[in-house]
């Protein structure tokens, strides 16, 4: 009798172990959350310049602080009427300084903000980036490259790229007559506006 009882208990224990297997049940499988891929739509802004329009896609997923700063300044009319105070042919055009001296301007937070270096590089013309005085000194000034400038990688936050249709205007700005790095004839942002907010 004791032998039969022992065998019966062994059978029950074996059944219990099998039933507690870690293999997920159908209910568990259906309860597993499915990761949904999110398609990011970048904001598009337009700088209406004295030489034509520059349409720019902003990398809100890569440099959210720089994009928020730029878009808020645009909404506030901060860049309207400001000159591109510095142009170096086959390198870049620079603007965003309300004093037009190259030393002015501030962020929407009224203090400098940090750099945002991710996976974007200065590998072509038309790249939009923050101008600065050194690490973590971003304010309102920005520049757009007119050639590949790889030596700037890791030194300036990249937060946008001009669209294909805007390269004609960028070429005209690049070919501006200069006295050193200062345009002889004033070139400016007449109006900046947001074409689409993105999501």
Tell me: the pLDDT tens digits for 60-96? 999 999 999 999 999 999 999 999 999 999 999 999 9
**What is the tens place of the pLDDT at every residue in 18-69?**
344 334 444 444 454 555 556 788 999 999 999 999 999 999 999 999 999 9
* Residues annotated as catalytic (active site), given as ranges: 86, 91, 94, 132, 143, 152, 156
The pLDDT of residue 118: 87
Tell me the average pLDDT of the chain.
88
Long-range CB pairs of 167-173, under 8 A, 24+ apart, other chains included? 167/125, 167/126, 168/52, 169/49, 169/51, 169/52, 169/53, 169/54, 170/54, 170/93, 170/125, 170/126, 170/144, 170/146, 171/146, 172/51, 172/52, 173/49, 173/51, 173/84, 173/87, 173/93, 173/146
Indicate the pTM of the whole model. Answer: 0.81
18 vs 149, higher pLDDT: 149
User: What residue segments make up the domains of the chain, in order of their start?
Assistant: 44-196
Cβ neighbours of residue 134 closer than 8 Å, sequence gap 6 or more: none
- Domain 44-196: what homologous superfamily? Cyclophilin-like (2.40.100.10)
The pLDDT of residue 40: 80
């Amino acid at each position: 009798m004791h032998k039969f009882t022992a065998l019966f208990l062994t059978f029950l224990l074996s059944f219990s172990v099998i039933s507690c297997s870690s293999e997920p049940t159908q209910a568990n499988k259906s309860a597993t959350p499915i990761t949904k891929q999110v398609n990011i739509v970048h904001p598009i802004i337009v700088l209406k310049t004295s030489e034509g329009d520059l349409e720019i896609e902003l990398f809100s997923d890569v440099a959210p602080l720089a994009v928020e700063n730029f878009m808020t300044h645009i909404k506030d009319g901060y860049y309207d009427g400001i000159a591109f105070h510095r142009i170096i042919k086959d390198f870049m055009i620079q603007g965003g300084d309300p004093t037009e001296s190259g030393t002015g301007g501030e962020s929407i937070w009224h203090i400098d903000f940090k750099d945002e270096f991710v996976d974007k590089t200065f590998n072509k013309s038309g790249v939009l980036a923050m101008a600065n005085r050194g690490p973590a000194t971003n304010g309102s000034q920005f520049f757009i490259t007119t050639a590949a400038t790889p030596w700037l990688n890791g030194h300036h936050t990249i937060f946008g790229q001009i669209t294909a249709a805007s390269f004609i205007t960028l070429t005209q700005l690049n070919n501006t007559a200069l006295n050193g790095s200062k345009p002889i004839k004033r070139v400016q942002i007449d109006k900046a506006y947001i074409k689409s907010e993105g999501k």
